[in-house]
C-alpha cells in the first residue's frame, strides 16, 4: 500500500497529537482527577495508534497501543494517576516522538523496539488491574469475530446495515440519555467507493468528521478493525449529536471516495429493538466490546472541543495548542489551506528578491531618461511607478505567507519546565503569552534554542529554592514567564522570572577574580556594563567552572544566535526581585526599507525601521562628554558616531560647517550617525556576505543596487 502521499499529513497530525498528550499529561500531573484531560489523552493516543496502523508503522502502533491501554485503565478507574506513572508515560511519549522523528527523517520508523518502556507500561498494567489485559483479550476476540460478521454483511443487499448492530445495555443507556437530553441519535451505514485504495484512511476521515459534531457510540466493524482495514466497502456507526441529520450526512459525504450514506434518526424504542433481528448478533457484540470503550472516552471532550472555551480555563501555557488544534480539526480535508514545502517558498522569495533588484535597476535607468519631456518617457515613468507598487505588494504578500505564529517554537517549554522542576527540586510555574505573534518562518525555526537557554537559566539560576523563597516572603512556587508581542517592525520576546535577579556586585567580583579585567576597570563599569560582560564568550566560559553568581550559562551562545537572526538581547534585573531578558527580533529577514547614505564615497544602507529622525547639526553644537562627542537634541543628550571613522572610510572632502546626523534608536536609547550625504529611501534585498569574510558586527549584510553595485548594510543596533 502506498501511503507516501499521506506521510506529510501523518507527520503533522502526529505532532499535534503528541503535543496534546504532552499538554494534557502536564495538566493531569497537577490535577490527577481531571476527566477532560484523561479523555483528551485517550483520544489523542487512540488517533495516534490508528494513524500508525494505517501507515503500517508496527512498532509505533504497538507502543501507542500499550499507552492507550494504560489510559483506558485510568479512564476505567482501575488505575490511579501517580507521579511515577506520569514519568513512565512521559518516557513513552518521548519514545513515540522518537519514532515520529525517525519517520520524518527516513520515512521509516526505525529498529528501536523501546522494549524497556513497553515493559514498564506492562508492569503498571498488570499491577494496576485487569483492565489492560482485558482490553487486549477483547480485541483479539474482536478481530476473530468481525471476520465472521463480514460474510452476512456483504451478502446483504439492504443498505441500512446499522440496524443489525446489537447494542449493549451500556450503549443503549448512553443513547437514551442523549435522547432525554434532547440530543439526536442517528444510525449510519457508510459505503466507500470500490475504487478506493485506502479504505482505512477514508474511514478514519469519516470518523474524524463525525466526531467533530458529536460522539460515535458504536461502530461496526470495531474501530480497531477499521483501522486495520479489516472491513469490506461499508461500515456502520451510531452517533449522538445535537446537529441535524443532513449536516452530519453532508460532513460524511465531504470525505472523498464516499459513495453513499444510509441513515435514520433513532428514538428510544428503536434503540431498544435494534439488532434483535440480526443473526450475526453475538459475533458483532463481541466485536463491539473493544471499540465501545474508545468512543465513550471521547464523549464530553469532543462535543465541546470546537467551542474551545472550556480549554481557556487551563493553564495559559497550553491554551494556544488547544486553539490551534481546534482550527485544523474544522477542515480535516484539505480545502482552504494547503501545506507548502518551505523550500518552494524560499524559491518564491528569491524570485521576488530578483524581481525587486531588476525593478530597482529599471527605476534608476528610468530616472536617467526622465529628462526628456516627451510623452513616451512620461509613460515609462508612470509604468515604472506602477511596477514599483506592484512589486512592493508582492513582496508583502510573500512575506505574509512566510509568517507563522511563534507558538510552534514554544510548545515544548511547559514540558521542559516540568522536567526541570523534578530535576532541580524547585517549584515553578511557566506562563506564556502571545504565542500567536507571527514571525518569519526562518526565525521561528531558530529562536527555540536561545529561548530554551533563557528559560533554563531562569529555572536553574534565577529562581530560588522554596525554602529561600518563603524566607523572603515570596510564594514558594516561582513564576517564569515568556511574553511575545509585536512592536513596530520588531517582535519582542521577554523571558524572565521572579527569582533572585542578577547580583551585579558578585559578577563584578567574579570579573576581577577571573582576571577578565583589571580591578580598576571592573570598578569603573556601571551595572549595565557589568551585566553585558555576562554575554561575553570569554567570560562565560570561565563562569561555567564555578558558576557563583548564578548567571552566565551559555548566554554568549544565546546572544550570538539571536544576533545571527538580526536581533539583539538585553537584560533588566533587580536583585531579589528577578530578571527579564528582552529579545528583539526583526519581523522580516529578507527585504527591508532602507535609507541609502554616502560615507567616504561609499554607499551604505541603514534600515529605515531603526531611524528616528535626520538632523542637520552645525559642528559648533558638538560637545564633549567624557571625551565622547555628543549633541543636544530636543532636550536629550545623544552620543554621535562618525561613521567614516567607524568604517575606515576613504578620506573625502567634507562640509566642515554642518553635519548630517541620522538619529537611530534601539529600545529607549538614541545615537546619531554622521554621514556625508543622503541618497534617499530604497527597498533593499538583504544578502549574506557568506561565511568566508569576517567583518565588524556593524555590517549585517549586503544588498545589490539598481546599477548592479554591491552596497553594505549597517546594523545600527550593533553601534550601541
Residues designated catalytic: 46, 68, 457
* CA dist., res. 226 & res. 208, Å (int): 13
Residue 695 Cβ vs another protein, minimum distance, rounded to whole Å: 5
- For 565, other C-beta atoms within 10 Å of its C-beta total 19
Q: Which is nearer to another protein, 446 or 612 (CB)?
A: 446
CA-based max dimension of the chain: 105
* Cell 544578502 -> residue: 687
Cell numbers at 690, concatenated? 557568506
Residue 642 Cβ vs another protein, minimum distance, rounded to whole Å: 13
Residue 712 Cβ vs another protein, minimum distance, rounded to whole Å: 7
Residue 683 Cβ vs another protein, minimum distance, rounded to whole Å: 15
* CA dist., res. 496 & res. 451, Å (int): 11
Q: In angstroms, what CA-CA distances link 593 with 260, 367, 430, 588, 629? A: 57, 19, 37, 11, 29
SS3 percent helix, strand, coil of the chain, rounded to 5, is: 55, 20, 25
Q: Which is nearer to another protein, 268 or 645 (CB)?
A: 645
What is the three-class DSSP state of 169? helix
Q: Which is nearer to another protein, 339 or 691 (CB)?
A: 691
- Residues 6 or more apart whose CB falls under 8 angstroms from that of 429 comprise 315, 477, 478, 479, 480
Q: Which is nearer to another protein, 634 or 691 (CB)?
A: 691
Q: What are phi and psi of 372, to 5 degrees?
A: -65, 145
Check: CB of residue 700 under 8 Å from CB of residue 713: yes
Q: List the Cα angle 582/584/586 in 5-degree steps.
A: 170
Residue 2 Cβ vs another protein, minimum distance, rounded to whole Å: 32
Q: Which is nearer to another protein, 518 or 564 (CB)?
A: 564
* CA dist., res. 554 & res. 440, Å (int): 25
Q: Which is nearer to another protein, 463 or 686 (CB)?
A: 686
DSSP 479-494: EEEEEEEEETTEEEEE
User: Cis peptide leading into 537, omega within 30 of 0?
Assistant: no
* CA dist., res. 145 & res. 150, Å (int): 9
Q: Which is nearer to another protein, 44 or 704 (CB)?
A: 704
Cell numbers at 89, concatenated? 508515560
Residue 662 Cβ vs another protein, minimum distance, rounded to whole Å: 17
Q: Which is nearer to another protein, 370 or 696 (CB)?
A: 696
Residue 656 Cβ vs another protein, minimum distance, rounded to whole Å: 23
Residue 709 Cβ vs another protein, minimum distance, rounded to whole Å: 6
* CA dist., res. 673 & res. 651, Å (int): 17
Residues near another protein (CB under 8 A) are: 353-354, 357, 602, 646-649, 687-696, 698-699, 702, 704, 708-712
Helices (H), 276-315: 281-297, 299-304, 309-312
* CA dist., res. 618 & res. 20, Å (int): 63
Amino acid at each position: 500500500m502506498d501511503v507516501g502521499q499521506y506521510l506529510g499529513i501523518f507527520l503533522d497530525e502526529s505532532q499535534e497529537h503528541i503535543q496534546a498528550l504532552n499538554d494534557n499529561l502536564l495538566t493531569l500531573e497537577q490535577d490527577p482527577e481531571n476527566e477532560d484531560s484523561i479523555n483528551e489523552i485517550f483520544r489523542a493516543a487512540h488517533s495516534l495508534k490508528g494513524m500508525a496502523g494505517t501507515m503500517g508503522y508496527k512498532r509505533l502502533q504497538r507502543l501507542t497501543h500499550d499507552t492507550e491501554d494504560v489510559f483506558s485503565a485510568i479512564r476505567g478507574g482501575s488505575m490511579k494517576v501517580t507521579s511515577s506513572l506520569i514519568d513512565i508515560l512521559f518516557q513513552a511519549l518521548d519514545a513515540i516522538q522518537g519514532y515520529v522523528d525517525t519517520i520524518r527523517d527516513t520515512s521509516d520508523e526505525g529498529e528501536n523496539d523501546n522494549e524497556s518502556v513497553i515493559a514498564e507500561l506492562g508492569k503498571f498494567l498488570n499491577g494496576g488491574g485487569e483492565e489492560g489485559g482485558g482490553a487486549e483479550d477483547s480485541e483479539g476476540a474482536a478481530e476473530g469475530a468481525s471476520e465472521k460478521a463480514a460474510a452476512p454483511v456483504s451478502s446483504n443487499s439492504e443498505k441500512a446495515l446499522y440496524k443489525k448492530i446489537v447494542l449493549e445495555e451500556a450503549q443503549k443507556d448512553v443513547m437514551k440519555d442523549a435522547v432525554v437530553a434532547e440530543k439526536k441519535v442517528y444510525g449510519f451505514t457508510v459505503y466507500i467507493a470500490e475504487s478506493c485504495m485506502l479504505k482505512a484512511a477514508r474511514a478514519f476521515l469519516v470518523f474524524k468528521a463525525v466526531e467533530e459534531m458529536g460522539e460515535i457510540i458504536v461502530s461496526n466493524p470495531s474501530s480497531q478493525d477499521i483501522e486495520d482495514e479489516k472491513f469490506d466497502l461499508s461500515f456502520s456507526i451510531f452517533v449522538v449529536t445535537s446537529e441535524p441529520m443532513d449536516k452530519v450526512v453532508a460532513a460524511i459525504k465531504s470525505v472523498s471516495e464516499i459513495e453513499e450514506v444510509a441513515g435514520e434518526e433513532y428514538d428510544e424504542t428503536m434503540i431498544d429493538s435494534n439488532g434483535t433481528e440480526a443473526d450475526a448478533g453475538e459475533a458483532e457484540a463481541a466485536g463491539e466490546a473493544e471499540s465501545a470503550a474508545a468512543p465513550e472516552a471521547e464523549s464530553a471532550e469532543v462535543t465541546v472541543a470546537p467551542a474551545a472555551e472550556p480549554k481557556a480555563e487551563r493553564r495559559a501555557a497550553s491554551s494556544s495548542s488547544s486553539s490551534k488544534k481546534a482550527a485544523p480539526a474544522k477542515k480535516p480535508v484539505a480545502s482552504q489551506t494547503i501545506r507548502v514545502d518551505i523550500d518552494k517558498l524560499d524559491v518564491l522569495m528569491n524570485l521576488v528578491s530578483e524581481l525587486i533588484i531588476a525593478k530597482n535597476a529599471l527605476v534608476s535607468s528610468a530616472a536617467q531618461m526622465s529628462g526628456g519631456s516627451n510623452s513616451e518617457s512620461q509613460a515609462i515613468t508612470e509604468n515604472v511607478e506602477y511596477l514599483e507598487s506592484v512589486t512592493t505588494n508582492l513582496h508583502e504578500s510573500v512575506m505574509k505567507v512566510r509568517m507563522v505564529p511563534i507558538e510552534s517554537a514554544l510548545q515544548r517549554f511547559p514540558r521542559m519546565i516540568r522536567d526541570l522542576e523534578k530535576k532541580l527540586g524547585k517549584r515553578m510555574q511557566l506562563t506564556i503569552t502571545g504565542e500567536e505573534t507571527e514571525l518569519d518562518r526562518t526565525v521561528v525555526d531558530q529562536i527555540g534554542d536561545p529561548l530554551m537557554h533563557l528559560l533554563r537559566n531562569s529555572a536553574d539560576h534565577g529562581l530560588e529554592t522554596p525554602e529561600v523563597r518563603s524566607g523572603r516572603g515570596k510564594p514558594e512556587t516561582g513564576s517564569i514567564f515568556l511574553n511575545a508581542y509585536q512592536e513596530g517592525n520588531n517582535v519582542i520576546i521577554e523571558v524572565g522570572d521572579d527569582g533572585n535577579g542578577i547580583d551585579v556586585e558578585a559578577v563584578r567580583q567574579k570579573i576581577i577574580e577571573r582576571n577578565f579585567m583589571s580591578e580598576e576597570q571592573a570598578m569603573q563599569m556601571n551595572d549595565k556594563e557589568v551585566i553585558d560582560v555576562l554575554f561575553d564568550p570569554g567570560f562565560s566560559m570561565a563562569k561555567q567552572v564555578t558558576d557563583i553568581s548564578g548567571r552566565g550559562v551559555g548566554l554568549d551562545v544565546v546572544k550570538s544566535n539571536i544576533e545571527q537572526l538580526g536581533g539583539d538581547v538585553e537584560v533588566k534585573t533587580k536583585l531579589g526581585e528577578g530578571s527579564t531578558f528582552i529579545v528583539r527580533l526583526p519581523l522580516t529577514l529578507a527585504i527591508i526599507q532602507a535609507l541609502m547614505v554616502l560615507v567616504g564615497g561609499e554607499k551604505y544602507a541603514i534600515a529605515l525601521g531603526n531611524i528616528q529622525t535626520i538632523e542637520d547639526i552645525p559642528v559648533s553644537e558638538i560637545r564633549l562628554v567624557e571625551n565622547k562627542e555628543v549633541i543636544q537634541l530636543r532636550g536629550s543628550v545623544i552620543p554621535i558616531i562618525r561613521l567614516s571613522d567607524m568604517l575606515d572610510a576613504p578620506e573625502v572632502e567634507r562640509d566642515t560647517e554642518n553635519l548630517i546626523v541620522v538619529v537611530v534608536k534601539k529600545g529607549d536609547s538614541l545615537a546619531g550617525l554622521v554621514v556625508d550625504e543622503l541618497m534617499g529611501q530604497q527597498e533593499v534585498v538583504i544578502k549574506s556576505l557568506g561565511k568566508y569574510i569576517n567583518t565588524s558586527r556593524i555590517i549585517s549584510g549586503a544588498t545589490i543596487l539598481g546599477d548592479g553595485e554591491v552596497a553594505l548594510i549597517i546594523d545600527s543596533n550593533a553601534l550601541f
